Amino acid sequence: MEAELKRLVMRSPFEVRVPKPRREGEATLLYPFDARIAWVAACHHRTSSRISWDLFSSEAVRLEPLFEELLPSLRADDRLPAASALRFSVDLGSAHDFEASPLQLRGVVKNAIVDALKPRGVTAEVDADSPDVVFVARRAGTPEHRRTVVGIDIGGGARHRRGARVTSGPAPLRETMAAQLVMLSRWDARSEPLVDPMAGGGTIPIEAAGLAVGAAIRKPGDLPFRHLAAFDGLPSEVPDLFPGTTPRILALDIDAERIGTIVGNLRAAGLTGASHEQSIVIGQKDVRTLTPDDVMKLLPAARDMKPGVFCFNPPYGVRLGAQDELAHFYPKLGDALKQKFSGWRAYIFSGDRELPKLIHLAASKRTPLYNGALECRLYEFKLVAGSMRRKKP
């Protein structure tokens, strides 16, 4: 998340440096607020699940003390929306250690917002269907220092919803996770082709294409910026941040049905048509028989590039594929990669600890990642002579 934000802000219209964030647990980064950085993150950042502008933080774990602290704090807060009428909603993040029900917590936050805005002449009412501004309440912090935090969702809700995917395969990755895998592969879109040989609905190729050119996933007009004075004067357009880059991406799958799925999703993401024809290519192939020649035929521009990057998630038996079938498949996958793609790097995401061992390649890195509640690993295999021993990952 951190590397992606730095890269985006560097290419944004703003002369601003991204400060080092504070880490909160495994999955949260806290940055001091800067509207320009927040704007870039909200419009372009692909790997974050939610983006909140935190306004209030308290140790209160019960309703009454929370209301007593929250109301005066919001009353004095000039960051709140100033329109004469405001439609808002309150979303809850994780709040399992708050000592009241989620409904009650939401109710108290809602009441405090309405009461805080009343003296300013703002009529605030809850509209869960089309709110101008979404507030978020969550429990946060480290196990030793837990807090109740109230903020404004400036990222347009759950960010894996890109508004683009029309159909999916049987086990699609979340878009935010797919973007994380591509970032972690350190794929250089200017000099390396990227191949997803088991592309399913095409989530990884689509995210890779977006990351390569710095394409926005949210338009400023769809975010709550116009209700928040801190964002006044910031751009209303979101051109690609890396407009000169033409990535070379191959999305393959063995299943003919998935090919239609990928085409539909690429179309929905605006990644079809003449300008993308040579850039993001789809093919029906069995990864076990895939050769570098196949890659070059489908993606001719890759001939002039460095060896490429595989980035994919094979079935691992949670939702797809029987275990013994997979036990036969993984060694063949390993053979295909190591025998033919020397010099390439492979990033394989799996929720199973045993199956990747059957690839019989030495993993140069294993990055733990959570897919929902499931602890998974992203395995890095450097497909060079030295790593092709029959060694356990």
Ligand X SMILES: C[S@@+](CC[C@H](N)C(=O)[O-])C[C@H]1O[C@@H](n2cnc3c(N)ncnc32)[C@H](O)[C@@H]1O
Helix count and strand count (H, E) for the chain: 9, 14
Q: Does 317 bind ligand X (CB under 6 A)?
A: no
Candidate list 81, 151, 156, 315; residue touching ligand X; CB under 6 A:
315
Decide if residue 115 touches ligand X (CB under 6 A): no
Token pair, residue 112, equals 């405090």
Instruction: Name the minimum Å distance from CB 61 to ligand X.
Output: 38
Spatial CB neighbours of 272, under 8 Å, sequence gap ≥ 6: 263, 266
Question: CA of 293: how far to CAs of 191, 289, 297, 341, in Å?
Answer: 18, 11, 6, 10
List 190, 288, 340, 365, residue binding ligand X (CB under 6 A): 288
- Whichever of 240 and 255 has its CB closer to ligand X, that residue is 255
Rounded least distance, CB 212 to ligand X, Å: 17
- What does the block give as tokens for 216? 């926005």
In angstroms, give the least distance from the CB of 148 to ligand X.
35
CA angle 374, 376, 382 (to 5 degrees): 170
For position 204 contacting ligand X by CB under 6 A, the verdict is: yes
When the beta carbons of 28 and 350 are compared against ligand X, the nearer one is: 350
Q: Please report whether residue 286 would count as binding ligand X according to CB under 6 A.
A: yes
Residue 176 near ligand X by CB under 6 A: no
Beta strands 374-382 and 365-371 are: antiparallel
Distances (CA, A) of 372 to 54, 348, 376: 24, 18, 10
Side-chain half-sphere exposure of 8, counting CA atoms within 13 A: 27
Of the two residues 125 and 257, which places its CB atom closer to ligand X in the complex? Answer: 257
Q: How buried is 339 (Cβ within 10 angstroms: 0-12 exposed, 13-18 middle, 19+ buried)?
A: exposed
Is 254 a binding residue for ligand X by CB under 6 A? The answer is yes
Q: Least separation, in Å, of the C-beta of 173 and ligand X?
A: 4
Nearest approach in angstroms of CB 43 to ligand X is 23
**By rule CB under 6 A, what count of residues binds ligand X?**
23
- Interface with ligand X includes 173 (CB under 6 A)? yes
**Cβ 383 to ligand X, closest distance in Å?**
17
Smallest distance, ligand X to C-beta of residue 256, A: 10
Is 356 a binding residue for ligand X by CB under 6 A? The answer is no
Q: Is 320 in the site for ligand X (CB under 6 A)?
A: yes
Shortest gap between Cβ of 260 and ligand X (angstroms)? 12
Residue 258 binds ligand X, judged by CB under 6 A: yes
Distance, in Å, from the CA atom of 35 to the CA atom of 213, rounded to the nearest integer, reads 23
Question: H-helix or E-strand containing 204?
Answer: helix 203-213
Residue 134, number of CB atoms within 10 A of its CB: 19
Q: What is the contact surface with ligand X in residues (CB under 6 A)?
A: 168-169, 171-173, 197-201, 203-204, 253-255, 258, 286-288, 313-315, 320
